[in-house]
Structure 1
């Protein structure tokens, strides 16, 4: 059985990617970084697997729904 996907918060994403907060938000708007998930009224996070995919290949990363639709 696979381990459940963890939700990680901004400080963890900043540390793992080496990006600044403003760069992360800019890349989200451009569609070149995973979008946040709303986890509470004032909280958001990312699926760890999405961040791992981005770290593995940030140049060609696209949201999973775009992969396989010829938009690489």
Structure 2
């Protein structure tokens, strides 16, 4: 079972603003959230960690 984290934690971990995260989701460049309630979403922590690792790998390759 994967651990899910809420948006404030994603903002804290990535350093991105809430609106930038939503823009990146729409662009397909950020992991999509999982609906956990009628008005609540969360993100699989492993997908967020992979996204962060990908950004670091791209930085190191440049």
Q: Same fold (TM over 0.5)?
A: yes
Structure 1 partner of 2:8: 11
TM-score, scaled to structure 1: 0.73
TM-score, scaled to structure 2: 0.85
Which structure's CA Rg is the greater one?
1
Question: Which sections of structure 1, spanning at least 5 residues, go unmatched?
Answer: 61-72
- Structure with the bigger RCO (C-alpha within 8 Å, sep 6+) is 2
Question: Which sections of structure 2, spanning at least 5 residues, go unmatched?
Answer: 58-62
Equivalent residue of 2:24, what SS? helix
Question: What is the alpha-carbon root mean square deviation over aligned residues?
Answer: 1.6
Structure 2 partner of 1:69: none
Runs of 4+ off more than 4 Å? none
**Following the alignment from structure 1 to structure 2, what is the Cα–Cα distance between the partners of residues 56 and 26?**
20
Give the strand-richer structure, 1 or 2.
2
**Following the alignment from structure 1 to structure 2, what is the Cα–Cα distance between the partners of residues 59 and 14?**
17
Equivalent residue of 1:34, what SS? coil
Structure 2 partner of 1:58: 55
- Between the two proteins, the alignment pairs up a number of residues equal to 57
